[in-house]
Amino acid sequence: MSNTYLLFEAVNEKSYLHKNLLVMLSLDPNYVTDKRNKKVAVQLSIKTYEKIEEIFENYALYHLMETARTKKALDRDEAKAYYAELKKKK
């Protein structure tokens, strides 16, 4: 069976800067087939699954941090008004 690879765009964790780095992860999947030999599912090792999960979490965290970094900070009155609106929605 040939190995399958995934390429991920990565983030430089030290500087939190987007760096167009590629991470190649060997998946080595096991395909589950139906009676007609059609692929219906994939099995991955726990180690591979956890690595993919970590990559997705880091990617999402990076984008969340970038969004927060580019937003304007609220002054005191704006923050009070914002939190008052949140309490009304509860």
Spans of the chain, pLDDT less than 50: 1-2, 11-21
Q: What is the pTM of this model?
A: 0.52
CA 9 – CA 62 distance, rounded (Å):
11
pLDDT single digits (tens) 59-76: 888 888 877 777 777 889
How many other C-beta atoms are found inside a 10 Å radius of the C-beta of residue 49?
12
pLDDT at 40: 95
d(CA 37, CA 88): 55
